[in-house]
Amino acid sequence: MKAKIHLIIVALHALSTSSVIWASDPSPLQDFCVTDNNSKVLVNGFVCKSMDGMKAEDFFTYGLYKPGNTINKLGFNVRAVNVNTIPGLNTLGVSMARIDFSPRGLNPPHTHPRATEILTVLEGELYVGFVTSNIGQTNRLFTKILKKVDVFVFPQGLVHFQFNRGHTRVVAITALSSQNSGTITIANAVFGSKTPISDEVLAKAFRGDQKTVDRLQAQFWMDNNN
C-alpha cells in the first residue's frame, strides 16, 4: 500500500513539474527555425524553411523609430515585432512592441496568455498596473507611475493596462517572453465577441440590466493587438 501511495505522489509531482516546464514557449532544438510562410502544414507554431532559403532579412525589421498613429478612440497605437513580423523569431520565445500614447491615451485592460511582459518608458510618463488572480477571493491591484527609462513587469496571464494621464505624448518599448504572446482585450472579449455572449449572462455577471449590456455590445471595440 505504501509503495502505491509513493508511486502516486511521484506521478503527481511529475505532472506538476511538466506543467511548469510547458507554461512558456518550448526551447529550440537547433540554432533557429525561420518560419516557412508557404507551408500548408499545421503545427503548434510554424514549420521551418530550409537553410538554403534563409536570408538575413528573415531576422530583420525596420521602422520602429516612426511614431504610431494614435488618432483613434483610445488614443494609442501598438506596433508588434513578433514571429509574424520577423520569421527568424520562430522557436526563440521572445517578441517586442513599440507603444505610442497620445495625451490621455489608454492601452485598455488586457492579458497575454502566453507571455510575461516587461515595459520601459522612453518618453513621457505612464500610469500602469496589473490585477492578481483571485487569491483568497481578493483581486489585488498593483500600480505605478513610470517616468523616462523606468521599467515595470506584468506577470504572464494577468490583466494589466497602461494609461497616459498627462498632456504630452508617451512612447514605450515592451518585451514579451513568447514569439507570439497573444492578446485578450477584456472589453472586446466580453462585449464584442462574435457571436455575442447572451445579454442575460452578462447582465447577471456584471449585476446590471440587459439594456446596458445591449448598448455595450453595440459599441465599436478597438483591438489593442500587442
Neighbour-count burial of 154, counting CB atoms closer than 10 A to its CB (0-12 exposed, 13-18 middle, 19+ buried)? buried
SS3 content of the chain, % helix, strand, coil (to 5): 25, 25, 50
Domain 26-178, architecture per CATH? Sandwich (2.60)
**pLDDT, tens only, 175-205:** 999 999 999 999 999 999 999 999 999 999 9
**pLDDT, tens only, 96-154:** 999 999 999 999 999 999 999 999 999 999 999 999 998 777 899 999 999 999 999 99
Ranges of each domain in the chain: 26-178, 183-226
pTM value is 0.84
